[in-house]
Amino acid sequence: MNKPCLFCEIAAGRMEADVLHQDDHVVAFRDIHPQTPTHVLVIPRKHITSMLDIEPVDAELLGHMHVTARDLAKRLGIAESGYRSVFNCGRDGGQTVWHIHLHLLGGRSMGWPPWPGN
Ligand code: 5GP
Ligand code: ZN
């Protein structure tokens, strides 16, 4: 049997997570290894393996993920100071979980561009 997808399990409530928001289409929860004082993952309930697999029909869902991230940024007090939203894709993009997720990062100043090692 294939190993169940970690983020599908969190979305279904079968695996524990610090959930901050959920609705019919997305779930948002705190990253287990936060890289910034505020680090939240916004995932679609629909299993999509990578950003390479998104389809035109997913456009509204992806927009909803960004609106959710913006609302959470306001709620968590990082909207004024600023935040970063990131989708990592594939090996060089640093993707390690194969169910798309938006990283909402904030609470400290971040460098740009992402030099090697950052
Ligand atoms: P990626 O590297 O694929 O862009 O991001 C995956 C993220 O998922 C990482 O930041 C990692 O810390 C987080 N993560 C991995 N496993 C778990 C888990 O079981 N629970 C939570 N809350 N986050 C996880
Ligand atoms: Zn999944």
Q: What is the pLDDT of residues 48-79, one digit of tens each?
A: 999 999 999 999 999 999 999 999 999 999 99
Whether residue 25 lies inside any domain: the answer is: yes
What is the value of pTM for the model shown?
0.97
Within-domain flag for 114? no
Pairing of strands 102-106, 83-86: antiparallel
Burial of 32 (0-12, 13-18, 19+ CB in 10 A): exposed
Q: Does residue 113 lie in a domain region?
A: no
Q: Is 116 part of any domain?
A: no
How would DSSP label each residue in 15-26? S---EEEE-SSE
pLDDT at residue 22 tops 80? yes
Average pLDDT, rounded, for the chain: 96
Domain containing 12 equals 6-106
Task: Output the domain CATH number for residue 90.
Answer: 3.30.428.10
Q: Which ligand is nearest to the CA of 96?
A: 1
How far is Cα of residue 1 from the mean position of the Cα atoms in its chain?
27
Determine if ligand 1 sits within 6 Å of the CB of residue 33: yes
Could you tell which of 15, 16, 20, 97 is best to mutate to test the pocket of ligand 1, judged by most ligand atoms within 8 Å of the CB?
97
| Atom number of ligand 1 nearest to Cα 88 | 4
Measured distance CA(9)–CA(6) in Å, rounded: 5
Q: Is the CB of 32 under 6 A from ligand 1?
A: yes
Total count of domains within the chain:
1
Annotation says 101 is catalytic: yes
**pLDDT at site 86:** 97
